[in-house]
A = this chain, B = another copy of it.
Amino acid sequence: MNKEKNSPSVDSFKVKCKEHRLKTTPQRLAIYKELLRSDDHPHADIVFKKVRKIFPHISFDTINRTLLTFAELGIVAMVEGYGEPKRFDIKTDQHHHFRCIKCKDIVDFYHTSYDNIKVPENLQRQYTILAKRVVLEGICDKCGKKS
């Protein structure tokens, strides 16, 4: 494993850009850095508002296009939702999610035994499985206290 290449960092980002023949523009770098800072799976508009503080002239389209490009190339991941705006995650390694059904928060967690769950044989035969993920849903501590 090449750590440089796989753990999210500014350096790994530059490497990935070269691999995909993407230009490492200041805008892209700023967007990537913002994602590095976030652990709440922000959507484009949140990233826009934050990056604009550093980059006042950046346009929303650049944010959106960049995030979609990153997602397509596997530089970032897209997280599943229920029809809300697309949300992005800097973590592309195997992990799992807890989702709060009230505040819509998504919390990442790692759990080796979930990584190793066996795919049912009939599905294994029929499909090419590329990713496995466990999604837990419920109510987070903050929302639990409110009610």
Contacts and interface: CB of A to CB of B under 8 A. Distances in A.
Interface residues of A, number: 39
The oligomer's copy count stands at 2
Nearest to A125: B141
Contacts of A98: 123, 127, 129
Interface stretch (A12-20, A23-31, A50-58, A130-138): A130-138
Interface string A136-147: 111111001000
B126 A132 contact: no
A128 B144 contact: yes
A111 interface: yes
A67 B129 CA distance: 31
Given A135-B135, A136-B132, A127 B141 contact: yes
B134 A117 contact: yes
8 contacts: A78-B83, A126-B140, A129-B136, A130-B138, A131-B137, A131-B138, A132-B135, A135-B135
